[in-house]
Structure 1
Amino acid sequence: MWLLTTTPLALLLLLGPSSSPAVEATTSRSAYADCVVTPVTRAVELGEGPHWSHEEQALYFVDIKSSSINRLHVATGKQTSAPIGGASSVDFIVPVVGRPGAFLVAVDLSISEVQWDGEDVSSLTGRALVSVDADKPDNRFNDGKADPAGRLWGGTMGPEPEVGHVVPKQGSLYLFEGQGAALSSQAWLTGVDISNGLAWSADNDTMFYIDTGSNRVDALDYDAATGQIGARRPVFDLIQNNVTGHPDGMTIDRNGNLWVACFDGSQVIHVDPRTRQLLGRVSIPAERVTSVAFGGPQLDVLYVTTSRFGLTPEQLAKQPHAGSVFAVTGLGVSGLPGQSVAYSSV
């Protein structure tokens, strides 16, 4: 969800996309001539963190700026929302394995346990389990997911002393382990600008990671048994490949290829991390594309979150569905359902 350009004291961060419910579909001509891009939710301010629940056939996502968690039931098209009381930001949501209605949610700088029945409510209360970045109180969480073993990973980003500027190298990537109130955190990466997209290879030996300020996708050695990560190496550089926009959220398909949201790029790119090749691009009718997740009954629909935060009235007029979740069909690939987190409250 973040566009960064380096300045002497900070990194420029532009946010974004629009209003009104989704109705019409458009056809992308960028690389997938037969794919159809359809807005499927009403617009939020800053949509992020899509998570597909295959059991519910529903998409969960957050609106960071309204501090709310959201649910789209695909079959009915029903969209519901619940703000977290007292939160300045709500940054990602991950369901808990085997506990319907239980979620771990990033609230400001804490991981909180939240109970939600998926219906519209005026306010929810989360139970804070663990907090991070105590020495950097103006930081906040940004993106997070559960790994193939059900461990929760979540990353932070630096503060915005002015709208549009992020202090660089203030964020970290954390691994959270434990149960109940004994949930603990370990920082595996520090000095991060904006901790962002996460994905894991099918053989569970590689974790893919995005620090948006680097303008690239990295791979790290990953031990599924312990959760430890090792050597970090670049696998795709957006600048070197003349890709417009900055890397944000990310997912992986069944072929082992990555789909990367390009904030301020109006597109999602399709990348082979083994060959480091750009396989294609899907145009999105919103410039601030924030994240992606596969879903649908066959897991062949790519859901794309976007933002409208910070756009001018003139920009919004050209992007009437900015801020909506878009469904991309006809790509000819499928992904995996969202991984829930293995966590017990007791």
Structure 2
Amino acid sequence: MKVNVRYSYASGSGAIRQWWKWFSLSALLSESTAFVDIRNFPRHPIGSHHVLRSSQLRNIGNDGIWYSDSFSNTPKRVPVMAGNWKLNPNTLSDATNLLKLIASNFLHHRSASDPEVVIFPPYPFLMPALELLEGTGIKVGAQNCALQESPGAFTGEVSASMIRSMGCDYVMLGHSERRTLFGETDAKINAKAHLCLKQPGLGIILCIGETLEEYQSNLLESVVEMQLKKGLAGLKAEDISSSSLIIAYEPCWAINTGIAATPQQANTAHMAVRRTLTKLFGADVAQSIRIQYGGSVKPDNIEDLMAMPEIDGALVGGASLTADGFTRIVDGAVSISSSFSAIPRELTARECLPTKNVLGESPVWSERDQCLYWVSAPEEEVWTWNLVDPPYRRLMGTVLGCVALKAGDPGSIVLGGERAILELTMSPTTTDFASGPAVLCDRPDLASMTRPNDGRVDRQGRLVFGMYNNYHRSGASEGSNNAGLYRLDANLQYEKLLDHDFRVSNCICFSSNGETMFFCDTPTRKVYAFDYPKERGGMLTNRRLIWSVPSNLDGAPDGAQVDADGCIWIALSGAGRVVRVKPSTGMIDCVVHLPVKSPTSCTFGGPNLDELFMTTRGPDGGGLYRVKMPHGIRGLPEPEFQVGTNGQIISGSPPSATPTGHSPRKDYTWWNKVS
């Protein structure tokens, strides 16, 4: 395979190098030679959400639709992603739950470079939406408005001024369901548009689109031109801004059918829309107006749609009714992940132990003991394996979230129990099974419905662990952000490392120098790096996003580990793989495939730290997997938790008072459960 490039676009070597990056990977092309004329590419700088994908490379030279020169000087437009709830959900309680889950996914996880996000709930849910989404950056809009100005004797109507007075930013007008089911004409839509735009700060999303019969009759351009001219009649260029008018192109034949227009079809339609806008308002205004695509938008097609230069966002219907689905679609507009723009090395892991764990978690390799430790969380078990003999396990009598190494005798480990941090000497030769684990201290926030989940020892020997909201999927008040990130020092004193709470802690791991910590709140599907405070009293600072799961990929980040090169290996639970990400670029250069759906965590082990071990969960998994690393890739030695003399606990005796000030547990009989 080869690429023949005609360098006839004379804009300097820098531009040539920029375009070369787009198609330098011959593996993305078909077997035949691809002739690419650079004159045909858009000449404006390409935004992060306009990335050439392999499917487009194959289409260049066939129809040439997507790269038309018609709007080659297009300024960068901020994408706008909108969720149209229509007549959903059924109750206020359901709406509240959905709003809380969406808020949790967006709170603390947005930046200035992200797209604009708007939610369109039914009228009764507007005020709860405004209240619950406050601080997330998500805007709220109404699905319709009255033809009349308020006040007046118009029973059942809601005016544009009322909508704006609540704090809404947009009104949706002209949706095909309003046109077909309720007889709304272009004239009525135009009247409503004028009423909305009279309200300072209130914009409109004007929906247009052709029927299947009109599309098949090649009437697309004439239909959308007529709808735009009639729907925007009487408006002047000075009345229009990028925030006051958004066009949503929704082909009627793609709404609620599961059939989406191809990216090329949608882009062609958007070009027709912009040509009409140019006729109405001039080129400058037309170039500033954002045009969304609507119609069966899903996580698995949003990136292909957003790669088109004339698509500036999406109007999402059914997929906006789940927090995960809508968040993934929005993430697909942030940027087309460049992490797969190079061909990563692919490895396959094999099952080395058929342990059948319900939820294997938190693998950690001890150089001191030359063995691997991990837990099976709901089964209340801690496991160990020296890679030679059969594995050994102990029953702890409490749900376990994580295991870490502890300085001391061989087999010394520390465990994150449901209500306490525990210590244990794990040895297959012990005869003292009745001793059970000892309680080091209560875990923080005993009154909350949380438990320790992900944990690891930092480079200074302190235990860092995050909590897990037991009801994080519910969306109710119990399912909100209430889990914290903590550090436990040698004197068993806690300190909180994040100034906000989250739902599910994962991906905790550290750079080799201990100055960077990685972290993920799993439902957000985003992995961050922080500057890590080495001194007591400090907080995590300088948060930066290093990787986000592509919207078309199932699963979410779970456990992670750092290698000696500074790359982070992330287990993608639900996606059946572990990926190696370079934090400085977000690039993936290695993918480990597993034959089961949900790897839960990973770590390096073996005498040379050159094997990757992966825990998994049921129902299809539960075994321990391993894969030999390519030459040169190695892990880092795992630190041990250093407990000072002031923090020593006599094994088998509960503390009379915890160093943190928490009340000691009244009943410690659970620690004496034995295997």
**TM-score when scaled to structure 1?**
0.80
Distance change in 2, residues 1:172/1:118 (3 Å): farther
1:329 partnered with 2:628: yes
**Aligned pair in 2 of structure 1 residues 40, 109: CA closer, same or farther (>3 Å)?**
same
The aligned counterpart of 1:275 is: 585
Aligned residue identity for 1:300? D
Residues 254 and 243 of structure 1: CA distance in aligned 2, closer, same or farther (over 3 Å): farther
Higher strand share: 1
Are 1:186 and 2:486 matched, yes or no?
Answer: no
Q: Is it true that 1:64 corresponds to 2:377 in the alignment?
A: yes
Kindly tell me: are residues 68 and 292 of structure 1, through their superposed partners in 2, closer, same or farther at Cα, counting changes over 3 Å? same
Matching of residue 37 in structure 1 with residue 324 in structure 2: no
CA 1:56–1:227 in structure 2 vs 1: closer, same or farther (change >3 Å)? Answer: farther
Q: Structure 2 CA distance, aligned partners of 1:302 and 1:256?
A: 15
Matched letter for residue 153 of structure 1: V
Question: In the TM superposition, what is the alpha-carbon distance from 1:119 to its structure 2 partner?
Answer: 5.2
What whole-Å deviation, never above 9, does each CA across 1:100-142 have from its counterpart, x for those lacking one? 2322211103212223324585882332413211230x21111
Partner of 2:605: 295
The letter of the residue matching 2:486 is Y
The equivalences for 1:59-138 within 5 A come to 59-76=372-389, 78-85=390-397, 87=398, 89-118=399-428, 124-136=436-448, 138=449
Look up the match of 2:462: 151
Please, which moves more after superposition, 119-128 or 90-99? Answer: 119-128
Give me the whole-angstrom Cα distance separating, in 1, the residues matched to 2:595 and 2:537: 38
Is the 2:409–2:425 contact (alpha carbons within 8 Å) kept by the matching residues of 1? no
Look up the SS of the partner of 1:65 in the other structure: coil
Q: Which residue of 1 aligns with 2:114?
A: none
- Which residue in 2 is equivalent to 1:259? 569
Aligned CA distance change for structure 1 residues 207 and 239 (closer, same or farther; 3 Å): same
Whether the 8 Å CA contact 1:130–1:185 is kept in 2: the answer is: no
State the secondary structure of the residue aligned to 2:349. Answer: strand
Larger helix proportion of the pair: 2
1:122 to 1:153, Cα distance in 2 relative to 1, 3 A = same
State the aligned residue count.
306
Q: Deviations over 1:171-227 (max 9, x none)?
A: 111011133xxx121122232110111121223321111111221110111233548
Runs of 4+ in 1 over 6 A off after TM superposition: 11-14, 161-166
Residues 251 and 161 of structure 1: CA distance in aligned 2, closer, same or farther (over 3 Å): closer
Query: Do structure 1's residue 160 and structure 2's residue 486 form an aligned pair?
Result: no
Q: Which blocks of at least 5 consecutive residues in structure 1 are unaligned? A: 1-5, 15-29, 317-321
- Kindly report the root-mean-square deviation, in angstroms, between the aligned alpha carbons of the 2 structures: 2.8
Distance 1:13 1:151 in 2: 35
Structure 1 residue 339 and structure 2 residue 639: aligned?
yes
Question: Judging changes above 3 Å, is the alpha-carbon distance between structure 1 residues 203 and 161 closer, same or farther for their aligned structure 2 residues?
Answer: closer
Change over 3 Å in CA distance of 1:146–1:162 after alignment to 2: closer
Equivalent position SS for 1:171: coil
User: TM-score, normalization: structure 2?
Assistant: 0.43
What SS does the aligned partner of 2:630 have? coil
Q: What is the deviation of 1:81?
A: 0.6
Instruction: Quote the residue 2:511 is aligned against.
Output: 201
Inter-CA distance 191–38: structure 2 relative to 1 (3 Å threshold): same
Distance 1:231 1:163, change over 3 A: closer
Tell me: CA distance 1:258–1:43, structure 2 relative to 1, closer, same or farther (3 Å).
Answer: same
Which runs of 5 or more structure 2 residues have no equivalent in the other structure?
1-96, 105-321, 325-342, 649-675
Query: d(CA) in 1 for partners of 2:323 and 2:437?
Result: 30
Cα deviation, residue 9, structure 1: 5.1
User: 1:50 Cα shift?
Assistant: 0.4
Sequence identity percentage: 25
Q: Which residue of 1 aligns with 2:250?
A: none
1:106 aligned partner, one-letter code: G
